Chain A
Amino acid sequence: MPDGAATFFDADLTALDPNGSLFRLDVYSPYPLSNGELSYLQTEFEAEMVAYARRLSASTRSWRWAAAIGLLDLIVLAGLLLFAVVNADRSFLIFAWAFAVALLPGPLIAINLFSHRRRTARARRLLQASFVSAGIGQGGAGSSYMNAIWEAVEHSSRDRDILTLERLCRINNWAAGLRFYRSRRGGRSRAHRHRRPGLLRALLGRRRPRYASSIVSRGL
């Protein structure tokens, strides 16, 4: 950061799945961290994860009920349209739009809930997920990204503005760092955005990634 340092989390909450095993938080830092600092970071992440899972599992309803309603709505709509077409009295056809308005949302809601059933099941599993103690990340891509950007920052004589740091991440192909600096440049953390997913995205079952909010400290 231009005026200090920040810790951000790279794990996408919507993709986390304990699958019966324990989570471990690997922390990559240019400086050695004590156990207290590691547990502080782990609690921050765990709190966000549980809040996300709890919110999602509390706001979602059983897709089976929605599927039953949607299916019956569809059958009734088909029956009414068929009746209006084959009946000698065609006055029923005038109300075809009303049939569609009243009976089409049911199947659409059912498709939406059905496409999100895996996400909901994952969120319910997250509520029971446990962590082992957080540890220092050793080696791997995370370590190399971290070392590359800190070396560049420490050897750079220019000001450390967000755009420069973002460019450094782009040069190093560090997607998580790029995303973080973009969110800081946008003036607010993307992790806090509560945008309702678009209808098409919801119908196709695409998920919007969610990240835990970052911790910012100032003046190194």
Chain B
Amino acid sequence: MRGATCLGIPVVDGTVLTTTYATRRLLGATPFAGAAVTVHAAVAADGLVTSDDLDHACRLQARRFLLQSHPPTRTWRPRPAGLLWSASGMLLGLALVIASLGFWLPSLAGVWLLALRPWMLVRADRPLPPPPPTETPSLTVRRVTHQGIASLREVIARNLEDNLAYAEAYEVSTRLGIREAADLYTRLLQDPRPAALGPDEGVWLPDATRQREALTADPLLDEEVPARPEDDPDTIKPEILDADFDVPDESEPDE
């Protein structure tokens, strides 16, 4: 069972759900099949993100980084000293075979050094197979509250200007040691559109309450539109109606 963490970092009018850097490393080292992962979605305790959205975004992010996982690379590369040792052994083996002069012991040692030992070294150089998975693959999302994220939400909420909010939130996230938030706010200070973030940077979730407000607050549906004063013919100023327009007479020839 692996424990991953996603952060619901507050932005203006929404939340960006991003995985922590440690989670990316952890999921990158976890095989896609055979891993039971619990994703802790750390958000502010204000309920602005619906559980369904959070669950969906967390699963997307976790699968994204699980798919990027790679099998263990071979870090045991032949070192120069090892190659020199192996080559010198083969050379000595050849010399022993040639110079054995019919003695069976040096010729046997020569065969060992020349052929048998290199073959065994190649066999020994194979990495040990990874331990077999013991868990049923699964992905579970659990919502948890994060005090630092709540502080960032307050900062974002009390600033009206986007850039000001992101600048202050950057400072707070640095102070709190949330590197992911600091990097996200740096990115948003350059381009304040959370929808334009790359898939690795996070998933933008607009605030549920604001979405609802946007849907229900259509003035054409719910509210009576006040008439504009310029639309009423009685309010049109008479001097505009009485205005004279000088139209040049085009029939007169030029002098």
Q: Which residues of A does B touch, CB under 8 Å?
A: 4-7, 33-37, 39-40, 42-44, 46-48, 50-51, 54-55, 57-62, 65-66, 68-69, 72-73, 76, 79-80, 83, 87, 92, 95, 98-99, 101-103, 105-106, 120, 124-125, 127-128, 130-131, 133, 215-220
| Complex interface: chain B residues within 8 A of A40 (CB) | 5, 7, 20, 22, 42, 146
Q: Looking at the assembled complex, report how far the CB atom of B174 sits from the nearest CB atom of chain A, in whole angstroms.
A: 6
* A47 to B73 Cα, complex, angstroms: 17
* A40 to B22 Cα, complex, angstroms: 8
Given A40-B5, A80-B105, A83-B106; A58-B72 close (CB under 8 Å): yes
Known contacts A65-B124, A120-B128, then 17 further A-B pairs from the complex at CB < 8 Å, ordered by chain A residue: A4-B177, A34-B144, A35-B146, A37-B147, A40-B7, A43-B20, A43-B23, A50-B25, A51-B25, A55-B75, A59-B75, A60-B127, A69-B117, A83-B106, A98-B92, A124-B131, A218-B175
Residue of B nearest to A80 (CB): B109
What string of 1s and 0s marks CB contacts (under 8 Å) between B1-16 and chain A? 1111101000000000
**26 chain-A/chain-B pairs, Cβ below 8 angstroms:** A34-B146, A35-B146, A36-B5, A36-B7, A36-B40, A36-B42, A36-B148, A40-B146, A43-B22, A43-B23, A50-B25, A50-B26, A57-B130, A58-B76, A59-B127, A61-B76, A61-B126, A61-B127, A68-B120, A79-B105, A87-B103, A103-B89, A127-B130, A217-B174, A219-B175, A220-B175
B176 within 8 A of A: yes
Q: Which residues of B does A touch, CB under 8 Å?
A: 1-5, 7, 20, 22-23, 25-26, 29-30, 40, 42-43, 72-76, 85, 88-89, 92, 103, 105-106, 108-109, 112-113, 116-117, 120-121, 123-128, 130-131, 134, 144-149, 174-177
| Complex interface: chain B residues within 8 A of A33 (CB) | 147
Q: Looking at the assembled complex, report how far the CB atom of A134 sits from the nearest CB atom of chain B, in whole angstroms.
A: 8
Residue of B nearest to A124 (CB): B131
Q: Looking at the assembled complex, report how far the CB atom of B104 sits from the nearest CB atom of chain A, in whole angstroms.
A: 10
| B109 with A79: CB separation less than 8 A | yes
* A125 to B132 Cα, complex, angstroms: 11
Residue of B nearest to A50 (CB): B29
| Complex interface: chain B residues within 8 A of A6 (CB) | 177
* A220 to B127 Cα, complex, angstroms: 47
| Complex interface: chain B residues within 8 A of A220 (CB) | 175
- Among A35, A73, A216, max chain B CB count under 10 A is at A35
Q: Looking at the assembled complex, report how far the CB atom of A155 sits from the nearest CB atom of chain B, in whole angstroms.
A: 23
| Complex interface: chain A residues within 8 A of B113 (CB) | 76, 102-103
* A39 to B146 Cα, complex, angstroms: 9
Q: Which of A51, A58, A92, A127 contacts B127 (CB 8 A)?
A: A58
| A73 with B3: CB separation less than 8 A | no
| A59 with B5: CB separation less than 8 A | no
| Complex interface: chain A residues within 8 A of B75 (CB) | 55, 58-59
Q: Looking at the assembled complex, report how far the CB atom of B45 sits from the nearest CB atom of chain A, in whole angstroms.
A: 8
Q: Looking at the assembled complex, report how far the CB atom of A91 sits from the nearest CB atom of chain B, in whole angstroms.
A: 9
- Among B22, B116, B121, B127, max chain A CB count under 10 A is at B22
* A20 to B176 Cα, complex, angstroms: 36
| Complex interface: chain B residues within 8 A of A120 (CB) | 128
| Complex interface: chain B residues within 8 A of A66 (CB) | 124
